[in-house]
């Protein structure tokens, strides 16, 4: 099966910032992304869990974005502008995708 | 009932004990937990019920001129309390400007569950109150955030404030649901209330118990994880600020000529600190502020303080002051 | 009560206003939202309660010969309505064959919340209806899907239909729960109902309010996101098709000799459009059909139409036609 | 009521039929399902309600000396039953030592829903029971786990037992909530119960129906997926062990001089098998044990057995034995 | 620690199609997969969220599958047959796994 | 945008074991991790879903951990000690991250 090179960018970010991030991604020309719920985690600011939480303040979400490699820089600039001053982790992996026309 | 009897009877009510159970379970590291979706659903229920009942109350007893005054007073209190809180924090604690401002914003805003607990106490004492106090609560949620950001801006720090954030704050889910159900209750009145009272009135206290169990769990987990984040000064602030806020609410309530119950509720609103809407706004606007400081103070110190000692105190003070 | 009074009193009921609140909140882009798990739990509750009460009703009043007739009529209506809907869509709109067939499938099937809202109105007017109408509702969920796929097949397009899909459609959770709880209510009868009526009867209206709040939120979000997806013709279809479906239901109900309430419920079922079972089946069988077309029409246009204007209209028509 | 009438009236109660509906739906591979968060929320509700009512019962009727005795008997039964179960399993089935020990641990512990169903039957027959039986239930949850691990250790296999696990077992959420709400009910007494009875008493049976629907779904899914995992011997064990456990409970109850209802509840506790706390502990401590064996036996065989035949049997036996 | 080469395939697909996809994977000899909930996302067919939804129609799920590299083609063929006519995204990353005997 | 080499470790493990795993990771010097909920899956021990479950026994969770490559071995040893006797899958992918100071 024919596959095409792509980048898989995974951004773990605070929930109240998700909409700002996806808006920025969309502006940077990203054609699609997927948001996964995050149950808990730990980092420099300590451990946390969503259990029993009512406020979005104390939680994170994972935004996964598959893009053509040549668009990576635009995406990273956009993501970094949002994540820079906030809690969050950005990772990039090499990937292959089916149906390149979708990215 | 005297202050001490009141405090004692309050302390052994199912809702306080449920909170204590949650707190104890979390501190003992039990794995007891409420799913996020269930906690959110319960909080939607509480907002809907309390808003609707407030609106139905207005429909039943009519509106006198004090509604506008009470809304205005709520606005002013929410704007003003953060400045007092900020000043007190600077005296009592060593928090940075930004942390202190963020905390101050929480204390100007309100905790709807504290409000609900106060209405429960009023109800059990058969003391009436203005139904529109729910609308006052809604109005007090947001302004304090602006005060906090203004304090930060004045000290030369930059807060991330954009049009999107203002809309988010004003159209925050809890404000919209509270106001919306208040209006629905008002429009449909006694008849509407009769249709759904076996949902929003009869089981209300019991649902509140489960919610307070969850709040105890969350507060306990927060206290355990943020050990050391709060100095003695900050904890002292968490217990001193509520009575100060309440005093401001008392003054406003007396000026407006509210009923004993109304004065007590305005005191409770001024005394309580937000733990839902403001933290989320602060994460966006003041990301450098440490969430474990403001969440722990609001939910781990001030919330239990108000629930146990504050509410009886405010009721006694309101009773004395209004001669009710 | 005349049509206008009925419509007016319907419009200011807590359930309609809750839907309006959700719709307004979503259109204003408030972050008010109901967790998915909570929304699903409430829909399970509604299905269980409405099924059980229908069954208990049959146990209490006995079955006359019309049950079989009503079930058969439901089957026929569900099969037939999509053809009428498809024809109307081709006249009124520019939707592709596949989109039009998918939409038509939704209108042959039913919306159980619309049915529930109609039973609430009947109840508030103290109009009796056949308890087994719940079983008719269940029977009407699936056949329309087959009609839609048949329309597509006839036009030479391929629908992905396999044995797995047929089982999925027939054993769809909402059909199983509705029929199952109907049977349980029937078996346990009045005694069973007495045991659990403080769960499924007393708080029912209130729970329905929260569910309609959520449906308003989902509909509003859908309308906002699909701006432009629907032409004027499609929207016109969304308001014209319900009365046409209702007329078909009226004819069937009169033929069967149902009670006024029963006729009105059969009209409502025929007039309402699915937004749970059929969309899921269409995603599997007709993936090329655009979901924002059928979901927006069903949930954003026809559902509010039925809730506000349709139900009073159908009740008036049924009352007139049965002379009840 | 004789045994057969009792069994028959039990079999057509809404709660049993709801379980049957869930089981049938899962076996027919319907997609009917309850969200995890909703199922957990309902189980928190049931634990809170049953604990609270037990505590309020103690507050109302006072404590006689048998409380300590009953708690001790519960401890002993929970420790002892696994040895009997292990022995029986070795005779009846070909399970490995580790699997047999893991299963045995489940049967020494308890199923709180079986307990709740038994109290429902008592209530419907107007038979009183000791409120503190809820505390006995809580006490019986954990000890059986230790017996299971001890059996494994004795056979030279290593179980992963650490201090963390002991704390996890003892402070397991369901134990903490059951004991905690029992204490709250005891402290707040009749007055507390009156405040929240429209939440924890009135809708209880109905909520239980939905929970049993879910348990039927989970049990059915488990049975379908583990086809073949259980031999005839193991299934026979799942039906024989409950009456044996019940007999042990009967002896203890008579020795203690409990009321008819109390004896029946102690029998039910001894007869029932855990499906929440023990499986989680076994995954940590005995990871080699096959979960589909113990979960299927406990939830797919013993739970329905107790629900349908066991409970009427235990009630008849207790009535006979106590002459009640 | 010894690791073994593997492929990590991530398929984001509509919920009503998940069972069909996992059935196809199983038929193609895949020995395991994990399904993660997806909260929301955006693509050619617009943005969506699961909040408040009752129908599975409007949602997606992520199916993650670790396999031996030589089995990749079989998996992709199977996945593609299901995804082809439907909304969905397939990405493949190189990975290492512990305990190769499990794949 | 400057990125830094890292490893993305994904551990799918039974829920009752999650706390033990994250404790072990923390002891091994891992500075952060994220826990994602898992809805269902299939493997040698059969298929499962979280739907309607009350006990944590029958479910899994995914723990994602980004670390500096030189710390990988410590992490894998720690993870393996926990996963070894239990059901679970560990995969490692090469990744790049922004803000290396956080790892
Ligand atoms: N190294 C990491 N690997 C995976 N997730 C991380 C990592 N560091 C931080 N996170 C996630 O990002 C959140 C915030 O991190 P921090 O800003 O370091 O507190 C944590 O709670 C985790 O959910
Ligand atoms: N480039 C992408 N990266 C990540 N997820 C995507 C991407 N494109 C689409 N998706 C996911 O697949 C869903 C359907 O995509 P589409 O068919 O383009 O509407 C979206 O809602 C996303 O959840
Ligand atoms: N090859 C795989 N790819 C992705 N997830 C897997 C794989 N094998 C197992 N899993 C996950 O690990 C769980 C337990 O696997 P097992 O121990 O093989 O039953 C499964 O239910 C899946 O959630
Ligand atoms: Na305040
Ligand atoms: Na219809
Ligand atoms: Na037992």
Tokens of D275: 């499906």
pLDDT-derived band at F45, boundaries 50, 70, 90: confident
Tell me which of 3.40.30, 1.20.1070, 1.20.1530, 1.10.287 is the CATH number of domain B3-23+33-322.
1.20.1530
DSSP letters for B140-165: HSSHHHHHHHHHHHHTTPPP---HHH
Place of tokens 């963390």: D164
Report the residue from C36, C192, C199 with minimal CB separation from D203.
C199
Mean pLDDT, residues A47-62 taken together: 90
Mean pLDDT, chain C, integer: 94
Pocket perturbation via mutation, ligand 3, pick of F10, F11, F12, F17 by most ligand atoms within 8 A of CB? F12
Q: Is the CB of E103 under 6 A from ligand 3?
A: yes
**What local confidence, expressed as pLDDT, does residue E99 receive?**
85
Q: Which chains touch C (3 or more CB pairs under 8 A)?
A: B, D, E
Task: Give the number of C-E residue pairs with CB atoms closer than 8 Å.
Answer: 65
Interface test with B, best of C46, C209, C216, C221 (most B CBs within 10 A): C209
- Let me know: does B89 contact B237? Beta carbons within 8 Å: yes
pLDDT at A60 over 80: yes
Q: Give first-to-last CA distance, chain F, whole Å.
A: 18
Chains C and D touch, using 3 or more CB pairs below 8 Å: yes
Mean pLDDT, residues C282-303 taken together: 94
State how far the Cα of B133 lies from the Cα of C87, in Å rounded to an integer.
Answer: 55
Chains E and A touch, using 3 or more CB pairs below 8 Å: yes
Q: Is the CB of A103 under 6 A from ligand 2?
A: yes
pLDDT at A56 over 90: no
State how far the Cα of D77 lies from the Cα of E73, in Å rounded to an integer.
Answer: 57
Q: Which residues on F lie below 8 Å from A36 (Cβ)?
A: 36
Residues of E with CB under 8 A from a CB of F: 1, 3, 6, 8, 22, 26, 31-37, 61, 64, 66, 93-99, 102
Residue by residue, what is the 3-state secondary structure of chain E?
CCCEEEEEEEEEEEHHHHHHHHHHHHHCCCCCEEEEECCEEEECCEEEECCCCCCCCCCEEEEEEEECHHHHHHHHHHHHHHHCCCCEEEEEEEEEECCHHHC
Can you list the alpha helix ranges (DSSP code H) found in chain C? 3-11, 14-27, 36-61, 66-92, 97-108, 112-124, 133-140, 143-154, 163-170, 173-200, 204-225, 232-256, 260-271, 277-285, 291-295, 303-305, 311-322
pLDDT at B26 over 90: yes
Residue in D closest to B202 by C-alpha: D198
Residue in E closest to A26 by C-alpha: E42
Per residue in D94-152, pLDDT (tens digit) is: 999 999 999 999 999 999 999 999 999 999 999 999 999 999 999 999 999 999 999 99
pLDDT-derived band at C65, boundaries 50, 70, 90: confident
Q: What SS3 class is residue C257?
A: coil
pLDDT-derived band at C1, boundaries 50, 70, 90: low
pLDDT at D228 over 80: no
Q: Which residues on A lie below 8 Å from F36 (Cβ)?
A: 36-39, 62
Per residue in B158-213, pLDDT (tens digit) is: 766 778 888 999 999 999 999 999 999 999 999 999 999 999 999 999 999 999 99
Q: What SS3 class is residue A14?
A: strand
State the CB neighbour count (10 A cutoff) for residue D8.
Answer: 12
**What local confidence, expressed as pLDDT, does residue B62 receive?**
82
pLDDT at D258 over 70: yes
Taking the CA of residue B3 and the nearest CA in chain C, the distance in Å comes to 37
Report the residue from C21, C124, C202 with minimal CB separation from B198.
C202
**Which comes out higher in pLDDT, residue E49 or C324?**
E49
Closest CA to E92 of A40, D89, B264, F93: F93
pLDDT-derived band at E46, boundaries 50, 70, 90: confident
Mean pLDDT, residues C31-55 taken together: 97
Mean pLDDT, residues B300-312 taken together: 96
Mean pLDDT, residues E90-100 taken together: 94
DSSP letters for F46-67: EEEE-TT--SGGG-EEEEEEEE
Q: Which chains touch B (3 or more CB pairs under 8 A)?
A: A, C, D
**Which comes out higher in pLDDT, residue D61 or D159?**
D61
Burial group, residue A98, by CB count within 10 angstroms (0-12, 13-18, 19+): buried
**What local confidence, expressed as pLDDT, does residue B1 receive?**
63
**What local confidence, expressed as pLDDT, does residue D1 receive?**
63
Kindly state whether residue A26 falls inside one of the protein's structural domains. Answer: yes
pLDDT-derived band at C53, boundaries 50, 70, 90: very high
Domain count, chain F: 1
Chain Cα centroid distance, residue C235: 18
Per residue in B95-153, pLDDT (tens digit) is: 999 999 999 999 999 999 999 999 999 999 999 999 999 999 999 999 999 999 999 99
Tokens of B48: 């809907």
* Ligand index nearest the alpha carbon of residue D273: 6
Burial group, residue B163, by CB count within 10 angstroms (0-12, 13-18, 19+): exposed
State how far the Cα of D43 lies from the Cα of D215, in Å rounded to an integer.
Answer: 11
Kindly state whether residue F24 falls inside one of the protein's structural domains. Answer: yes
Mean pLDDT, chain F, integer: 93
Which H or E element spans position A8?
strand A4-14
State how far the Cα of C148 lies from the Cα of C165, in Å rounded to an integer.
Answer: 14
Report the CATH number that the domain containing residue F28 is assigned in CATH.
Answer: 3.30.70.120
**What local confidence, expressed as pLDDT, does residue D65 receive?**
79
Ranges B5-14, C193-202, D39-48: which has the least confidence: B5-14
Per residue in B52-91, pLDDT (tens digit) is: 999 999 999 887 778 999 999 999 999 999 999 999 999 9
- Let me know: does D101 contact D159? Beta carbons within 8 Å: no
* Percent of chain D scoring above 70 in pLDDT: 99
pLDDT-derived band at D3, boundaries 50, 70, 90: confident
**What local confidence, expressed as pLDDT, does residue F75 receive?**
95
**What local confidence, expressed as pLDDT, does residue A74 receive?**
94
Tokens of C310: 């349709």
Tokens of C272: 């309402």
Taking the CA of residue E96 and the nearest CA in chain F, the distance in Å comes to 5
DSSP letters for B212-234: HHHHHHHHHHHHHHTTTTS-HHH
Report the residue from D17, D31, D33 with minimal CB separation from C184.
D17
State how far the Cα of D144 lies from the Cα of C14, in Å rounded to an integer.
Answer: 52
**What local confidence, expressed as pLDDT, does residue D232 receive?**
94
pLDDT-derived band at C164, boundaries 50, 70, 90: confident
pLDDT at D34 over 80: yes
**What local confidence, expressed as pLDDT, does residue C318 receive?**
97
**What local confidence, expressed as pLDDT, does residue A79 receive?**
94
Mean pLDDT, residues B282-304 taken together: 94
């Amino acid at each position: 099966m024919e596959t095409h090179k792509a980048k898989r960018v995974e951004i773990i970010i605070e929930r109240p910032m998700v909409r700002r991030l996806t808006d920025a991604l969309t502006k940077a020309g990203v054609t699609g992304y997927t948001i996964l719920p995050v149950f808990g985690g730990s980092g420099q600011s300590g451990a946390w869990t969503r259990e029993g939480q009512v406020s979005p303040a104390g939680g994170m979400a994972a935004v996964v974005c598959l893009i053509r490699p040549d668009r990576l820089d635009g995406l990273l600039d956009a993501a970094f502008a949002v994540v820079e001053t906030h809690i969050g982790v950005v990772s990039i992996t090499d990937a292959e995708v089916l149906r390149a026309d979708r990215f | 009932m005297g202050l001490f009897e009141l405090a004692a009877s309050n302390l052994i009510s199912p809702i306080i004990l449920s909170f204590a159970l949650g707190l104890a379970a979390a501190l003992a590291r039990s794995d007891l937990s409420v799913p996020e979706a269930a906690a959110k659903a319960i909080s939607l229920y509480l907002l809907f019920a309390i808003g609707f009942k407030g609106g139905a109350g207005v429909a039943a007893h009519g509106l006198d001129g004090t509604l506008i005054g009470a809304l205005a007073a709520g606005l002013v209190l929410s704007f003003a309390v953060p400045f007092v809180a900020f000043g007190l924090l600077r005296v009592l604690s060593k928090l940075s400007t930004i942390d202190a401002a963020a905390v101050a914003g929480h204390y100007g805003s309100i905790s709807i569950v504290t409000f609900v607990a106060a209405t429960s106490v009023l109800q059990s004492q058969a003391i009436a109150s203005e139904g529109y106090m729910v609308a006052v609560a809604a109005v007090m949620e947001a302004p304090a955030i602006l005060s906090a950001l203004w304090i930060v801006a004045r000290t030369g720090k930059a807060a991330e404030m954009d049009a999107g954030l203002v809309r988010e704050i004003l159209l925050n889910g809890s404000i919209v649901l509270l106001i919306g159900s208040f209006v629905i209750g008002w429009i449909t009145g006694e008849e509407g209330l009769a249709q759904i009272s076996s949902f929003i009135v009869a089981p209300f206290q019991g649902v509140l118990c489960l919610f307070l169990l969850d709040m105890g769990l969350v507060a306990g987990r927060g206290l355990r994880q943020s050990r050391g984040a709060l100095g003695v000064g900050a904890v002292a602030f968490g217990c001193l600020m509520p009575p100060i806020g309440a005093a401001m609410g008392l003054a406003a309530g007396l000026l407006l000529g509210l009923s004993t119950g109304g004065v007590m509720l305005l005191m409770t609103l001024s005394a309580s600190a937000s733990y839902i809407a403001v933290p989320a706004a602060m994460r966006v606007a003041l990301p450098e502020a440490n969430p474990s400081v403001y969440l722990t103070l609001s939910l781990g110190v001030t919330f239990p303080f108000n629930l146990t000692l504050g509410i009886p105190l405010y009721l006694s003070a309101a009773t004395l002051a209004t001669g009710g």
